[in-house]
Amino acid sequence: MLCTPFALFLGGLFLLLPLTASGAPDEDGSSGSDESDSSGSDGSDPKSEEDGSDPPADSDEAMEALRQEMEILKLQVEVLSQAVPEPASRPAIAPNVFNPRITGFIDLMGSVGIADHGVSPAFDVRAFELDLRADIDPFAKAVVVLGFENPLAHAIEHAAHAGEHEDEDEHGADVVAEAWLSVVEEANISFVALPAHLFLELGLVRVDFGGLNRLHLHDLPHPDLPGTSSSLFGEHGWADAGAFLRYRLHNPRSLPIDFKVGIMSRGPEPLMEGRETPTPILLGHFQASGDPAPGSLLSGGVSYAFWKDATEEERGFHLGAVDFLAKVRAPGRGQDRSFFLNGELQLAHRLQDGGRTSLGGFVDVGFQPTRNVFVAFRGEARTDHLNVDPIVWGAGFSASLYTSEFLRMRLAYDLTAEEEITHRLGLQVTAVFGSHPVEPYWVNR
């Protein structure tokens, strides 16, 4: 910034030098030349110049020299101006990374169920979630997810249990009071800068068991969890409060190979019925993944959970799962064409009832025929008691249309064969707004 005025100063100085040398006035106001110079060399009167006579030849030479000096001065100014660097632009002000990033999710679902006993239409706001995430400091992060339940579900539950309570009015008031109250789905702090490649997570999390349980319902390739998962973990999956320590194995290719152990306080709801004491649940999880080719991903994991009631020796469970996932993008198509295959096998052994073992699994296949369309097929089978209960099988199809990264409309069909065959045709609309990152397709997450 200081070089430009300095260049102009030099230019003015060079401009004054020729004037001073040729005839700059002295301090007394004289021209600085001899008095003899006031007349022509031939003694003629200087006023003859005003009469139209030709000027002396030396004045033309002086003017030409002045022009040349001016051209040289212009060239010098241009050179100096090019040498002066342009002022650096003011850096953009980065957003405060310690402010929480807030995202909203709206999940709407309308469906028609068809079975032997008749047709059952339904429409509901399945969930409204607020997702808040922020960096506490360079060493820790925090996540809070609030899920708001629809009061219609409370009203239906209240109608189903009408007359079971002596003080019905008080019970109804409690149901209304709970409507649209926030339910904490996740609230945890992660310490990300521990030594020895360790990662500590404290609080309420979606348990890292299997391949799908970590995802919320609006992130699944189908409207709901497979029956094999919901029968063990509940309709919304397994969320638990506890402490989880993860170790990432250091390897030359820096592949994510993780070992995780955890201790929890709740356990999966369908497996914990009747528990009276808060005996902790132990968790072990191994996960490894890699990208053998650009745009592809291979991942596999093994999970194990154990719980034993302290008051009843024959009450508890062993729970295990094996999962795999493969994602592939078509070469040269970017994100416009993709394919995925994932599956999971789950086994649960309950210590009570003389020992009861359930086994189930599912396979899911999906692909993108066009950029904004995503299609998925799922098949599943399970039995609640090996060698005793019959096999329950099901199938599902979903076609999702993404109008943008943040709005998805999905047409889904499910078939379940248990005591009777049940068909369900549904329309799901999911909207995401706020600071959610651009993740338009589930296969590319």
CA 340 to chain centre: 20
DSSP H helices in 132-201 = 151-160, 168-178
The phi, psi pair for 197, rounded to 5°, reads 60, 35
- Model pLDDT, residue 189: 97
**Which residue in this structure is represented by tokens 């397709």?**
441
Length of the chain: 445
User: Measured between alpha carbons, how far is 231 from 360 in angstroms, rounded to an integer?
Assistant: 10
- Model pLDDT, residue 44: 45
Strand partners, 308: 316
SS (HEC) of 43-57: CCCHHHHCCCCCCCH
SS3 of residue 241 by DSSP: strand
**CA max distance for the chain:** 141
Q: Which residues neighbour 349 within 8 Å (Cβ) at sequence distance 6 or greater?
A: 317, 318, 319, 355, 356, 357
The per-residue pLDDT for range 389-436, each reduced to its tens digit, is: 889 999 999 999 988 888 999 999 999 998 889 999 999 999 998 876
The per-residue pLDDT for range 34-64, each reduced to its tens digit, is: 444 444 444 444 444 444 445 555 677 888 8
Token digits for 96? 């405060």
Q: Which residues neighbour 2 within 8 Å (Cβ) at sequence distance 6 or greater?
A: none
β-strands 198-206, 182-191: how paired?
antiparallel
Q: What is the DSSP letter of 310?
A: S
User: Measured between alpha carbons, how far is 304 from 321 in angstroms, rounded to an integer?
Assistant: 7
- Model pLDDT, residue 29: 41
- Model pLDDT, residue 41: 40
List the one residue out of 239, 230, 262 whose CA is nearest residue 184.
239
E strands within 67-165? 101-115, 118-137, 140-148
Token digits for 233? 């973990």
User: Measured between alpha carbons, how far is 350 from 357 in angstroms, rounded to an integer?
Assistant: 6
What angle do the packed helices 168-178 and 151-160 form, to 10 degrees? 160
Q: Which residues neighbour 250 within 8 Å (Cβ) at sequence distance 6 or greater?
A: 197
Listed by start position, the domains of the chain span 1-13+71-84, 101-444
User: Measured between alpha carbons, how far is 374 from 442 in angstroms, rounded to an integer?
Assistant: 9
Single pTM value for the model:
0.71
CA atoms within 13 A on the CB side of 220: 25
Q: Domain 101-444 in CATH: superfamily?
A: Porin (2.40.160.10)
Contact 375, 369 (CB under 8 A): yes
Q: Which residues neighbour 133 within 8 Å (Cβ) at sequence distance 6 or greater?
A: 100, 101, 141, 142, 143, 144
Amino acid at residue number 162: A
pLDDT in 10s for each residue of the chain, 445 residues: 444 444 455 555 544 444 444 443 444 444 444 444 444 444 444 444 444 445 555 677 888 888 888 888 877 777 666 655 555 554 444 455 567 889 999 999 999 999 888 888 888 888 899 999 999 988 999 999 998 876 555 555 555 555 555 555 555 555 555 555 568 899 999 999 999 889 999 999 999 999 999 998 888 999 999 999 999 999 889 999 999 999 999 877 778 899 999 999 989 988 887 677 778 999 999 999 998 877 788 999 999 999 988 776 678 899 999 999 998 887 765 667 888 999 999 999 998 877 889 999 999 999 988 888 999 999 999 998 888 888 999 999 999 998 888 899 999 999 999 888 999 999 999 999 887 654 444 444 4
- Model pLDDT, residue 437: 57
Q: What is the DSSP letter of 277?
A: S
Amino acid at residue number 271: L
Element at 284 (helix H, strand E): strand 281-290
User: Measured between alpha carbons, how far is 399 from 376 in angstroms, rounded to an integer?
Assistant: 7
Q: Which residues neighbour 44 within 8 Å (Cβ) at sequence distance 6 or greater?
A: none
Amino acid at residue number 247: Y
